Copies of this chain bind each other. A is one copy, B any other.
């Protein structure tokens, strides 16, 4: 088993993410908790998770964030395991993590528990199924704050109810290039979904990757929320595929091969340029223009600043551009 970005996902649908927000009724919300309450929360979650009767217990590790080196925290953000806010403010907090990093639980983020499942491709039902099983088992051992009228109680009212945020990451270079993405995002917004960049809230679209997620958590069942999101995602995928059919073949080939030419030859490569080039390469590969056994998502994740430093040691941005270029070149050379 390996991380989501080690697998190629689908052509347009790159990955799926399920997040459940849960709180324990015996504690105040995180923003009001003191250090000893946070420590107590950690121990309760740890005990629940590591209970040998838990089917997941063998694949899950409980990690105190104070034992995690600073750079590794941000490398976790780059792997989509924790949020940037959690990395920046993780003192006394903890995470639960599966070996393949597809299951993670932030303890002490905005809510007491943020359960996350992340998988390659579009697989909302499968990912939710895992989240639900984990949730059910934790629910047995932990006293989740739940109101019969409102559902799960959450720190922020936008999560009240199901506490479910589901999202799919889509690669939409042609809808973006044709200027159709903003109109589509507006329509999607009006019916309770958001379209955002690769790194969630507030982040700009990076290399034509867009996250589509549900906004409504109150007065809707989990199944309906997932079905609606799936329908929206399928529509966007279809539209992107439609637009791809009318592309000028020679221009597309030119773009794709130029991207490879630069990726295979640059001696200095910024993260931003690399991501854009890999996005162009992915489009060409997905459209069958080239068949190179290279996984652009793997490179995009592994060549980010903290992921690079995790592998090659502390360095400044200029040096990272050199290491990034070398790493990318090797990935393409060994294809």
Contact = CB atoms under 8 A, between A and B. Distances in A.
Main secondary structure, interface of A, reads helix
Interface in A238-259: 250-251, 253-254, 257-258
Given A250-B267, A257-B267, A260-B265, 11 more contacts: A251-B268, A254-B268, A254-B325, A257-B265, A257-B266, A258-B262, A260-B261, A261-B261, A261-B262, A261-B264, A261-B265
Interface residues of A, number: 17
Nearest to A251: B268
A47 interface: no
> Which of A251, A261, A263 has the most chain B CB atoms closer than 10 A to its own CB?
A261
A150 interface: no
Contacts of A254: 266-268, 325
A184 interface: no
A322 interface: yes
A263 to B, nearest CB: 8
A251 B322 CA distance: 10
A14 B322 CA distance: 33
25 contacts: A250-B267, A250-B268, A250-B322, A251-B268, A253-B267, A254-B266, A254-B267, A254-B268, A254-B325, A257-B265, A257-B266, A257-B267, A258-B261, A258-B262, A258-B265, A258-B266, A260-B261, A260-B265, A261-B261, A261-B262, A261-B263, A261-B264, A261-B265, A261-B266, A262-B262
A186 to B, nearest CB: 34
Contacts of A251: 268
Contacts of A262: 258, 261-262
Contacts of A264: 261
Nearest to A252: B267
Contacts of A325: 254
Contacts of A263: 261
> Which of A258, A262, A264 has the most chain B CB atoms closer than 10 A to its own CB?
A258
Contacts of A261: 258, 260-266
A239 to B, nearest CB: 27
A253 B253 CA distance: 26
A258 B263 CA distance: 8
Contacts of A253: 267
A267 B253 CA distance: 7
